[in-house]
Amino acid sequence: MRSKAFVAVLLAGCLIPAGCASASRAAAGGAAVRETDLPGRTIRDTLTRAIAMLEQSQCEAFAAHFLSPIKLAQVKDLDAYRKQHACTDANRANIQEVLLALRLARGAEPVVQGIKATIDLSGIGIRITKFDFVKYIDGRWYFNEL
């Protein structure tokens, strides 16, 4: 259960109006964000970039940049949010589980309905059973929720 909670919080989605998204991301990251540290313009690119960030132990940036901008705007304390999502030895197993699910999802075919998409991983035998994405007005696919 603890693992699911961590994953849900870690992979929540990013949707904010374009102007707010830039300001929120700057506040969340403190510096300019590289293109490769943002969600992709395809779901596969978003998954590939998410995997790369987590492999590089950039959990805080991942949590802030890949969260639906609308949901990111609802975070009251971005500093606390980032600290809560830091890569630590205590959550290493959870991060490895998220990475496994992301790798499996990257090989799956998403079901796309308009600006929403889902990758169903149920039946595989891992705790993470699906990923939900939303395409934002910036053309990027963000994690919406698990």
pLDDT at 57 over 90: yes
User: Mind listing the pLDDT tens digit for each residue in 21-42?
Assistant: 443 444 444 568 889 899 999 9
Contact 38, 21 (CB under 8 A): no
Measured distance CA(3)–CA(20) in Å, rounded:
31
User: Mind listing the pLDDT tens digit for each residue in 88-109?
Assistant: 988 899 899 999 999 999 999 9
Q: Which residues contact 59 (CB under 8 A, 6 or more apart)?
A: 10, 53, 85, 86, 87, 95
pTM exceeds 0.85 for this model: no
pLDDT at 1 over 80: no
Query: Could you state, in order of their start, the residue ranges of all structural domains in the chain?
Result: 2-137
Measured distance CA(37)–CA(117) in Å, rounded:
21
* Mean pLDDT, rounded, for 9-30: 39
